[in-house]
Structure 1
């Protein structure tokens, strides 16, 4: 099969290779990959900054994949040939709290991921794709949509009428606007572009703050909420941006630490955190059961994932470069 393989840190070390098609074993399904989507994790893995001690080359990158089951192993009962499925990144985190081995079980590093013509998945770590979505759309769910759902629903117990702050317009953020709005929340978003602001409004954001024109955007958030702040913040920036989120959050509000686009380290204003009694929750995607809940919710609410651009398989590195420059929604690579 044709595949891309990470043979070292840096995009220059992601190489086109020919590999044997994996052999399906007991409890496994062999998937003909149709599409994969890129996440910031994939960039961090490629750059060599994401848990480098776990990454043992060579491996096939990219965690999110959608495709068609073409073979099943012994004892497989949930799937049959022809089923449309999506991957779940943490193949050993199925429900409840994760065990210590959930990190080393991740697809797309250190385990082989989806940037190949075929992908071997464990039956228990595979989920049926929404029947109304294309493969390209379905491939966008496993990390971005699940991360949002795990934050707002699993941890945040979001209610209709809550206010949610979404930072930026990348894959997770766009998904957050769609999910929060569909669940009846008021959504405030930030963007560096007025053109993107109009796009994000069309997806359900009620207010958009241009953070270039308003660098103290947290003050604008307080103004829009009559000084109360917001109940939920999806913090994807990291670094000192966390203190801006602390200023913008409501009393006993929730900040979900999802990303570190700016910096992995943050000096946090502990007085603000204590005075507001803020709940700060680290989020690293979620378990398989929650991904099944995401699929059910998307089916019922008919949410349509937003794709910025689709690249052919041979242009996979161009897709990574696009991700590095920023995207509105998801970057997808067609495989088969």
Structure 2
């Protein structure tokens, strides 16, 4: 029986959730799937030392990063608040570079991408990371194409994922790639998680991304948009709701949300449509009407522009119940 040796790299102030999401998912695949090529996971730290975590907990080191040798199936570098120190540590960077060269596939979770970038492993690649750190990664490594939008990006044998719980999405994608969709579905059910968000689904969402605007007027308009997606939501119409000029409303939106009213409306409609497409059995014309797209074709064009796929394909990649 051949094993798939997966090395997970940790360091001081790495994020425990990201480490555990990967190791637990792969371990569950072994437990319930009995694959012909089971995973063997090695957790490595510098010097095999116990590492401290941002929560105040400590995690015992397994193997020493400096001593582990390949070949490996996959190397996964976790992120965390300590990623900058790790990326500035010549020893960590050198050995991550070494073991990556001995691996079939290399991956990072969240800000673990900074360590891969410091090792020169992301040069010329399109990658993602946690949205909050995407600008920092791009500024430090201009030779890397950083896209803060997707949950994860596969570029050849390199896979980078977004923040924290996207480690689960990454793990499901790897399991599906290695052992097929049925085992990935079984693991997702066992872990009680959403099967697999498409990699190009946005990290940020109107449902979770930002706190309510501090400006009462902008907050009132935002609430109106969320409750009236099928209505006229032009900037002129929204300005009338707010009782100000369209120009003044635009200035307020830019100051509070960093986008124009029109941009906010388009994004909100699209994300609401994505939730209806994925979570209900409504027809595409019905989704379009509810979310203010006017027609199924307009909805399709918006999906292709934002996600790179048609709404029907987007629905097919979501395997959760649709109450209607």
The question of a shared fold, defined as TM-score above 0.5 by the shorter chain, is answered with no
Q: Which has the higher contact order (CA 8 A, sep 6+)?
A: 1
More helix per residue? 2
